[in-house]
Chain A
């Protein structure tokens, strides 16, 4: 009984390790294919449209509301210390360094990641990938790469849009509703926020973009060719991307702070 439990534990540990290894190998292959895939730019553009342009509305809407609630909460918190003028700084740093990249990545995993995974999974289930391979075309090169790159390119742009809209949301609530001085709001922010803070957010969103896209294409490409398999791949995409984004976020913050 005990021996069986230990064996099971060892098996699942081995499985987790080899899953990590498969991810790494697949990621390395995608990186190696990147220069060649960038040459076929039309395919990438199409995927930037799918992953980025189609996620624009949900990102902007979420950004606006996150910014507005940040304005409200930040105002309430700062008012207790009598420093409402710092609202701009608080909102800008919060959005640029944390909320922008992280929430964008979570929304991206839900909106674009699932679409990628189920699309690739269905291609697998309906033997389209096998058909492409039959025509002596590498499906990773033709199908997976553009989708991966589309996600990687879209994420930093989406995060930047999110932060900008969020800042205007915070300004809307803080200045228009709560009566923080507009000049103070912007000038305090400008004095406190440095280029490094912006770059930290951009770097985070690039890393999250790679992680989310990798998870989505990996799970989709390796899904079981059944209806259930596609469903499971989609679920796993959301779960693994969200968890790894939050994990990576902590690690990146700890390194860069």
Chain B
């Protein structure tokens, strides 16, 4: 009898500890955004270039996450990328002339969608489209632009220097 009790106690303790560990791993280690569920409203935005933006990436206003990117697809009517985002229902006062831009968190971080508030008196509703968008910055384009502008700068700068020497 005493032995059975010890076995039951040990087993109970073990199972409890096991489930506690599982619960800890599921809730404390992950960011568990799955509470978002089906609620909220959808907005679409068209981009020339989405860069490394992925479905599930955060949508943020002033650094506060207000939703998630739901889907990214290519639109053959406009030849641009269509990004569908879902915004949590409590953020229902976003002016409908707000702009969306694809930004990078940190130097090597993942990309997210930033929304800058506009000045309109009316707010976004479900299914609306964000008109003002700014594409992701492609590093190669940035570097080539920088180099071209540098080259353009240097040419006129050298010529007057030559004239002044004699």
Contact = CB atoms under 8 A, between A and B. Distances in A.
A191 interface: yes
Contact of B31 (A56, A96, A167, A190): A190
A157 B30 contact: no
Contacts of A160: 18-19, 21-22, 25
A141 interface: no
A189 B24 CA distance: 13
A164 B13 CA distance: 16
Contacts, number: 76
Contacts of A189: 29
B15 A190 contact: no
A216 interface: no
Contact of B17 (A56, A193, A201): A56
Interface residues of A, number: 30
Contacts of B7: 45-46, 49
B30 A190 contact: yes
B22 A157 contact: yes
Scoring B8, B18, B31 by chain A CB atoms within 10 A of each residue's CB, the highest score goes to: B18
Contact of B25 (A49, A83, A164, A191): A164
Interface string A33-47: 000000000000110
Contacts of B14: 48-49, 52-53, 56, 154, 157
A198 B31 CA distance: 12
Given A45-B7, A45-B8, A49-B10, A193 B21 contact: no
Given A197-B30, A198-B25, 7 more contacts: A45-B7, A45-B8, A52-B15, A92-B29, A193-B30, A195-B30, A198-B30
